[in-house]
A and B are shown apart, each in its own frame.
Chain A
């Protein structure tokens, strides 16, 4: 099993460009999450999907959109990147509400 696969690992964008971060899990997990991690702050939830076909906003959703394409895949899209979106992004998944989280390896995104 690959676990949670997240791509790309690194990306540099110019302000206004768009991109999609991809995440896929092969553990048959129901719930998937997108977090961002900034220096001096805890991980913050951007969006989550409790099950296939549903998505909900987290703490910091502005400037992002998500798609839960199927049970395996949960993508994060930046339509018009801004320097404030420079961060490290993590995808995560788990089976149920109170279960261990499994994380992808992270995407380091820089917006110039």
Chain B
């Protein structure tokens, strides 16, 4: 079974800091999602990537398929970035093969 491990589980940062959240998985995948869950509970898809790197504003996601590892970086963090960040991997050909990590809870202090 594919396991998805995220680290750290919890992260507290000061406003302006550079943040890295890591995701590791155990078997081959076709793609990886990064999601953001707001304190109110809503979930938003940030990135879907299968190779290389993607950037959107202050967010950068990278993936190394050979090392089975992905990172989400936040530059110049802001209190509004406080949320739970979830990694999810797509493996196999079935629509149902999406395994989620438990999430990383980020708190950015002003």
Contact = CB atoms under 8 A, between A and B. Distances in A.
Interface string A90-108: 1010000111111101101
Nearest to A43: B100
A42 B43 contact: no
A79 interface: no
Given A88-B41, A98-B50, A100-B33, A42 B100 contact: yes
Contact of A98 (B31, B94, B100): B31
Interface residues of A, number: 25
A42 B86 contact: yes
Helix, strand, loop or mixed for chain B's interface?
A: strand
B52 to A, nearest CB: 15
B41 A105 contact: yes
Given A98-B90, A103-B42, A106-B42, A42 B4 contact: yes
Contact of B30 (A48, A98, A102, A105): A98
B90 A45 contact: no
A97 B102 contact: no
Contacts of A56: 94-96
- Which 10 A-B pairs give the minimum distances between C-beta atoms? A42-B100, A103-B43, A43-B100, A50-B95, A100-B45, A98-B31, A100-B48, A42-B102, A106-B41, A48-B96
